[in-house]
């Protein structure tokens, strides 16, 4: 079996696993499909009987025709009801399966290690969960609706034709493999093209999402032309793969129609000869010709369904690939829940690298006592934010250990570890909802008054009151009309409200004006009192009061000590500090 064949087979098995819980609906759908197909196939027999009631002019059995028409009306009515019920079952199966796929994919996103999200574009992930899932739904719906009825119609038609005249039915059976060969040939070539189409669509979605979210930067640096050229390149690829996929899939109809015409011609010739020789009646010939049409029609539909299924399987494969990604290492079964952390943090011989061939942090050692304020400074890329990622266990250390209150953080549940930290980052994150809901994110049981007090402590209350609906103003995840500084204040108020035992402030006041920053520093000072705090800062004026200042470079601690002690050493820290506060040009 080819690689593509194996991939398809594996994807089908996984989809069948998702359908397993909806087996009752699948059984019902098959039952209604069988009823619908059999009754539809019974109509040509009734038509033949009606024709045979007409012998010649003046010799017509009107009573017989009337009885046949009554039966035909009842059959058509039951067929319509069966088809409606079959579609209800099919819709139920399809959209529940796609819902389950999306739920599992989104659930997996919450469990994936941060390194996976860091190495995949957000737009591409969004494309898998939305566009690809929609394609799976369309393919499955067509598959259930037409594949079931098509297969049953083919089998049923052959049975009815054999019951009327075996020899003519044999002609149909002999030509049938041609349809199967054509369908198999087209299916083989369409899957690879639809797979490439789906992957390229994901790239395009990712590129569009990236450019829209960074449009200011693109325009500020005059990159519109370059961005358009890059988009044209991806768009051209998508056009090429889409055209090829459409071309191969479009071969289905004319090719199968040609084979169907051969079937109809064969039935017509052999049936006419048999009727002339008295083998079958004129009515039975009419029934046979009708069956020839009905027999070939499902091949057209199934070939079209196979094309759609190729697309659906390619898209399903991309979603399942995400679902089957290796999740982050789960908490140990005997992992402890960190309660009332004292803030005693110890890093012993820690090694870490994002890429094994490029070591970043090597043999890092640090001892932080409860209530100490630790400032981390150093040039860009020295490992400041990486250290924060390790403390929060967004990444695990390669060697050594990080301990809190003498407990290795790998033996602490992630939820209790992270809830013991209050984190304010340089990049703000807000969710769609009211100002009140955004501040209360880390403390669901906080009252409105508690939220207002936290906002006042961070000097956010004044601008919140000026908003149209105050604390009930609804904002988007981008913050709506709020400035970057105002969004930062909301994130600080969020931490101020939850007041965890330890704090991480990563450039927390980078977007705030100097006057407001001085006020917030006072609020931070009160908040940090008695709490172990880690402060990442480029503005060294904000960390003078820190108990320990770690000066990092290339993943190592070059210097550590208080502000005054480090200045007295006249080392790397003194150079950094003086570069910010000494104007060498005057």
Between 118 and 415, name the one with better pLDDT: 415
| Contact between residue 90 and residue 22 where contact means Cβ atoms under 8 Å apart | no
What is the secondary structure of 508-526 as a DSSP string?
TTTTS-HHHHHHHHHHHHH
- Tens of pLDDT, residue by residue over 214-229, are 777 788 778 888 889 8
Please tell me what DSSP assigns to residue 440. Answer: G
Same domain? For 517 and 559 the reply is: yes
Does any domain span residue 64? no
Is there a contact between 420 and 502 (Cβ–Cβ < 8 Å)?
A: yes
pLDDT score for 187:
67
Is residue 562 classed exposed, middle or buried when 0-12, 13-18 and 19+ CB atoms within 10 A define those classes? middle
pLDDT at residue 500 above 80? yes
DSSP-derived 3-state class of residue 324: coil
Cα distances from 39 to residues 81, 152, 574, in angstroms, run 11, 11, 91
Q: What is the pLDDT of residue 3?
A: 59
Closest by CA to 264, choosing from 293, 302, 299, 298, is: 293
Across 151-160, 243-252, 334-343, which has the greatest mean pLDDT?
334-343
Confidence check: pLDDT of 528 > 70: yes
Q: What's the pTM?
A: 0.65
Shared domain for 255 and 185, answered yes or no, is: yes
Same domain, 224 and 372: no
pLDDT, mean of residues 235-260: 80
Quote the pLDDT of residue 484. Answer: 78
**How many Å apart are CA 171 and CA 169, to the nearest integer?**
5
| Tens of pLDDT, residues 83-108 | 899 889 888 888 888 899 889 989 88
User: Which one of 323, 347, 380 terminates a domain?
Assistant: 323
- In a 13 Å sphere around the CA of 46, the CA atoms on its Cβ side amount to 18
What pLDDT does residue 582 have? 57
Percent of the chain residues past pLDDT 70, beyond the cut: 91
Identify the residue with better confidence: 253 or 504. 504
Give domain status of residue 368, yes or no.
yes
- The mean pLDDT of 284-307, rounded to a whole number, is 71
Give residue 511's pLDDT: 62
Tens digit of pLDDT for each residue in 359-406?
888 888 889 899 888 988 888 777 788 888 889 888 888 999 999 998
SS3 call for 330: coil
Same domain, 248 and 378: no
pLDDT for the residue numbered 585: 43
pLDDT on residue 551: 87
The whole-number pLDDT of residue 452 equals 92
pLDDT of 349 strictly over 80: yes
Q: Is residue 302 predicted with pLDDT exceeding 80?
A: no
Q: What is the CATH number of the domain that holds 465?
A: 3.40.50.300
> Residue 57: pLDDT above 70?
no
| Short-list 371, 272, 316, 396, CA closest to 100 | 316
**Who wins on pLDDT, 192 or 336?**
336
Residue 296, pLDDT score: 67
**Average pLDDT of the residues in 258-279:** 76
Give the pLDDT mean for 532-542.
Answer: 79
Mean pLDDT for 127-149 is: 79
Asked whether residue 121 falls in the same domain as residue 176, the answer is: yes
- Token pair 């046949």 in the structure block, residue: 68
Number of domains the chain contains: 2
- Cβ count near 104 (within 10 Å): 16
Residue 423 to residue 194: CA distance in whole angstroms: 44
CATH number (domain holding residue 108): 1.20.1560.10
Rounded CA-CA distance 177/183 in Å is: 10
Q: What is the pLDDT of residue 445?
A: 84
Mean pLDDT, the chain, rounded, equals: 81
Most confident range, picked from 68-77, 198-207, 572-581 = 68-77
Reduced to 3 states, what is the DSSP secondary structure of residue 349? Answer: strand
Distance CA 532, CA 534 (A): 7
Residue 70 inside a domain? The answer is no
| 206 shares its domain with 305 | yes
Instruction: Answer whether residue 426 is part of any domain.
Output: yes
Residues ≥6 apart with Cβ < 8 Å to 467: 435, 473
Q: Are residues 267 and 366 in the same domain?
A: no
Instruction: Quote the pLDDT of residue 541.
Output: 66
pLDDT band at 584 (very low <50, low <70, confident <90, very high): very low
Q: State both tokens at 562.
A: 């208080």
pLDDT, tens digit, 9 for 90 and up, residues 167-181: 777 777 777 777 667
Give the pLDDT mean for 512-529. Answer: 73
Q: Taking the mean position of all CA atoms in its chain, how far away is CA 80?
A: 37
Whether the pLDDT of residue 77 is over 90: the answer is yes
Long-range contacts of the stretch 207-210 (C-beta < 8 A, 24+)? 207/123, 207/231, 207/234, 208/123, 209/121, 209/122, 209/123, 209/126, 210/121, 210/123
Strand spans (E) along 497-565: 502-506, 532-536, 548-553, 556-561
Biggest CA-to-CA distance, the chain: 125
Instruction: Show the domain range for 191.
Output: 3-20+92-139+164-323
- The answer on 446 and 316 residing in a single domain is no
For residue 477, is it within any domain? yes
């Amino acid at each position: 079996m080819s690689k593509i064949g194996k991939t398809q087979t594996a994807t089908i098995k996984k989809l069948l696993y998702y359908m397993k819980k909806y087996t009752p609906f699948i059984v019902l759908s098959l039952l209604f499909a069988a009823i619908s197909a059999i009754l539809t196939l019974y109509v040509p027999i009734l038509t033949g009987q009606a024709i045979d009631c007409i012998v010649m002019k003046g010799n017509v059995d009107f009573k017989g025709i009337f009885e046949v028409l009554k039966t035909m009306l009842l059959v058509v009515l039951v067929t319509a009801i069966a088809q409606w019920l079959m579609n209800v079952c099919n819709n139920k199966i399809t959209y529940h399966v796609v819902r389950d796929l999306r739920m599992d994919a989104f659930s997996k996103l919450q469990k994936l290690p941060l390194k996976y999200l860091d190495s995949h574009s957000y737009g591409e992930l969004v494309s898998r969960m939305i566009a690809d899932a929609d394609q799976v739904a369309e393919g499955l719906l067509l598959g259930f609706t037409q594949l079931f009825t098509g297969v049953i119609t083919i089998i049923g038609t052959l049975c009815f034709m054999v019951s009327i005249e075996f020899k003519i039915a044999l002609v149909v059976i002999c030509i049938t493999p041609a349809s199967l060969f054509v369908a198999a040939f087209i299916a083989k070539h369409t899957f690879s093209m639809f797979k490439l189409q789906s992957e390229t669509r994901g790239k395009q979605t990712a590129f569009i999402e990236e450019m829209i979210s960074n449009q200011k930067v693109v325009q500020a640096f005059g990159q519109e032309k370059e961005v358009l050229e890059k988009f044209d390149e991806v768009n051209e690829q998508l056009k090429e793969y889409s055209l090829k996929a459409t071309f191969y899939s479009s071969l289905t109809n004319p090719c199968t129609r040609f084979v169907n015409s051969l079937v109809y011609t064969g039935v017509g010739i052999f049936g006419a000869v048999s009727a002339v020789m008295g083998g079958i009646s004129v009515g039975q010939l009419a029934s046979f010709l009708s069956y020839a049409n009905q027999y070939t029609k499902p091949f057209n539909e199934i070939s079209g369904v196979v094309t759609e299924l190729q697309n659906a399987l390619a898209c399903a494969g991309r979603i399942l690939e995400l679902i089957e990604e290796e999740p982050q290492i789960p908490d140990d079964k005997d992992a402890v829940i960190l309660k009332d952390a004292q803030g005693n943090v110890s890093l012993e011989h820690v090694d870490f690298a994002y890429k094994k061939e490029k070591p970043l942090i090597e043999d890092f050692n640090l001892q932080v006592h409860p209530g100490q304020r630790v400032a981390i400074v150093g040039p860009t890329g020295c490992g400041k934010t990486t250290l924060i990622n390790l403390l929060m266990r967004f990444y695990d250390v390669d060697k050594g250990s990080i301990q809190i209150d003498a407990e290795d953080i790998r033996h602490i549940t992630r939820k209790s570890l992270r809830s013991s930290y209050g984190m304010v980052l340089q990049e703000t994150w807000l969710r769609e909802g009211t100002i009140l809901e955004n501040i209360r994110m880390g403390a669901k049981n906080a009252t409105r008054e508690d939220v207002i007090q936290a906002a006042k402590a961070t000097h956010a209350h004044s601008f919140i009151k000026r908003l149209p609906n105050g604390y009930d103003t609804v904002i988007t995840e981008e913050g709506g009309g709020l400035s970057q500084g105002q969004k930062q204040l909301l994130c600080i108020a969020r931490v101020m409200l939850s007041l965890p035992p330890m704090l991480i402030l990563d450039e927390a006041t980078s977007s705030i004006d100097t006057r407001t920053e001085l006020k917030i520093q006072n609020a931070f000072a009160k908040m940090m009192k008695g709490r172990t705090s880690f402060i990442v800062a480029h503005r060294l004026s904000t960390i003078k009061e820190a108990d320990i200042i770690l000066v990092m470079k290339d993943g190592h601690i070059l210097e550590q000590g208080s502000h005054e002690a480090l200045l007295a050493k006249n080392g790397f820290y003194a150079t950094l500090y003086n570069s910010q506060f000494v104007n060498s040009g005057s």
